[in-house]
Amino acid sequence: MSRFEIYSPEGLRVDGRRWNELRSFNCSINTHPNAADGSSYLEQGNNKIITLVAGPQEPSSRSQVNTKQATLSVTINLTKFAKMERSKSSHKNERRTLEWQASLVRTFEKNLMLHLYPRTSIDVQVHALQLDGGILGAMLNGITLALIDAGIAMYDFVSGVSVGLYDTTPLLDLNSLEENAMSSVTIGTIGKSEKLSLLMVEDKVPLDRLESVMAIGIAGTHRIRDLMDKELRKHGKTRVENSSN
């Protein structure tokens, strides 16, 4: 590790970015039109994520029926081959995965108009084919796109990104090398507002630095929102063109 400088005095990070730059961001929606009601594929840096949404549909069991609103469930599948080194366990029942699932459900329960779909269930599956840091933020973006593709009513985009704190400098959108080297937080915001819908702090962050960390994080999520919006509009345009022909 000594050969790498996490953040050089010239202000460059391991992959050549500056402190406030995002990794390359590519997304597409409706990638699995026959397999699911809504789907998206997202690449955020070296993260590759497939998200499938099934629903609103009849719940598989009676216990999931809620007469007031739809039941939302999120399943995270971090594949065994996703990391550089193959992991032996499937991460399905790990506490960290279960916690992420619960916080994603809570985030999207607030943002979706679930009361429009009573007595139904909406099931979201996230498959991570490749992992490279900031996965929770990437999953927020992937789920947002897939839910939009499924046509489920929501108030606004939810976009997420991770921010780290290196000494006193906040660094935007960490990759796995950086994530292992410093403490980081994941931020999810609603649309272009400064309202946070998710704040995941798994490490210690000094309170007096939190404001600058959040500021760059919110700016990053807004940029991601714009990128997703651009892709959606492009997709919508081609869909309209194809249907009119």
Contact residues for other proteins, defined by CB under 8 A: 32-36, 46, 48, 50, 52, 77, 79-84, 86, 90, 92, 125, 127, 129-130
- All residues at 6 or more sequence positions from 73 whose CB lies less than 8 Å from its CB, including other chains: 105, 121, 122, 123, 124
On whether the CB atoms of residues 25 and 18 are closer than 8 A, the answer is no
Q: What are phi and psi of 106, to 5 degrees?
A: -65, -40
- Minimum CB separation of residue 190 from other proteins in Å reads 29
**Minimum CB distance to other proteins, residue 64 (Å):** 15
Select 129 or 196, whichever has its Cβ closest to other proteins. 129
Q: Identify which of residues 33 and 236 has a Cβ nearer to other proteins in the complex.
A: 33
Nearest to other proteins of 86, 204 (CB atom): 86
We find the least distance from the C-beta atom of residue 122 to other proteins, in angstroms, to be 16
Q: Could you give the CA distance from residue 212 to residue 209 in angstroms, rounded to a whole number? A: 6
> Which of 62, 233 has the CB closer to other proteins?
62
Of 46 and 64, which CB lies nearer to other proteins in the complex structure?
46
Give me the least distance between CB of 143 and other proteins, in Å please.
Answer: 16
Provide, rounded to whole angstroms, the least separation between the CB of residue 14 and other proteins: 17
Residue 131 to residues 75, 96, 163, 236: CA-CA distances in angstroms?
Answer: 16, 15, 17, 29
Q: Which is nearer to other proteins, 104 or 216 (CB)?
A: 104
How far, in Å, CA of 60 to CA of 232, rounded?
31
Residue 27: CB minimum distance to other proteins, A: 15
Nearer to other proteins, 83 or 110 (CB): 83
- Nearest approach, Cβ of 23 to other proteins (angstroms)? 14
